[in-house]
Amino acid sequence: DTGVSQNPRHKITKRGQNVTFRCDPISEHNRLYWYRQTLGQGPEFLTYFQNEAQLEKSRLLSDRFSAERPKGSFSTLEIQRTEQGDSAMYLCASSKGTANTEAFFGQGTRLTVV
Amino acid sequence: KQEVTQIPAALSVPEGENLVLNCSFTDSAIYNLQWFRQDPGKGLTSLLLIQSSQREQTSGRLNASLDKSSGRSTLYIAASQPGDSATYLCAVPDDMRFGAGTRLTVKP
């Protein structure tokens, strides 16, 4: 098991373009989380899934943001019509989802909107 | 809604000192709390998971305690080393809310 994998690691896009990030969780982890992190701040919760069900979405996740986990395995986070304020590190984590289990993070995708 | 606070925001100590990082949470109905370390520009590395039934959890020079009734957890680092320099974050379930972290610098 290679841990949580996120792709791409870096993405530079022009304002107004759409971007999509992918997260592959640890196998058999049925819970998957997405976070956004800006410099000097802790991770801000965006959303999480239990298998393919999206259980909670932060109000930070505006209409331009959408996340999917269609088969309960990998997940994608799409940002439409990107803005400069979307520039951040996007982090994904997974866990077994039962009580008292650790969450493990990927290395993140750094998005720069120019 | 759960809120997590970490104090201090930054800490600078000479090598060899023992230190304590604090994490407070508003909703005591938690079943575990997890401590992480983050190096600049990297993802988060899990350090310790402390369950609600435990009062302490130890890993090497790290010791985490949990007091649900007071809504507090502490991370104790013994004999600090320059390699411990990083940001330390705590998170509580169910949706893994984080504090802003404590940025630790250990000077040689």
Q: What is the mean pLDDT of residues A3-7?
A: 96
pLDDT at B54 over 90: no
For A26, phi then psi, to 5°, come to: -65, 140
Rounded CA-CA distance B49/A97 in Å is: 14
Q: Which residues, 6 or more positions from A105, have their beta carbon under 8 angstroms from its beta carbon?
A: A4, A91, A92, A93, B36, B43, B44, B45, B46
Q: What is the mean pLDDT of residues B69-76?
A: 94
Q: What is the mean pLDDT of residues B41-59?
A: 90
Q: Which residue of B has its CA nearest to A43?
A: B98
Q: What is the mean pLDDT of residues B89-95?
A: 84
For residue A106, give the nearest of A9, A34, A4, A1 by alpha carbon.
Answer: A4
Between chains, do B98 and A110 touch, taking CB under 8 Å as contact? no
Between chains, do A102 and B46 touch, taking CB under 8 Å as contact? yes
The pLDDT, as a whole number, for residue B2 is 80
Q: Which residue of B has its CA nearest to A48?
A: B95
pLDDT at B106 over 70: yes
For residue A33, give the nearest of B97, B37, B1 by alpha carbon.
Answer: B97
The pLDDT, as a whole number, for residue B82 is 97
Q: When comparing pLDDT for A18 and B30, which is higher?
A: A18
The pLDDT, as a whole number, for residue A100 is 63
Task: Assess contact for B91 and B98: CB atoms under 8 A.
Answer: yes
Rounded CA-CA distance B79/B62 in Å is: 10
The pLDDT, as a whole number, for residue A99 is 61
The pLDDT, as a whole number, for residue A1 is 55
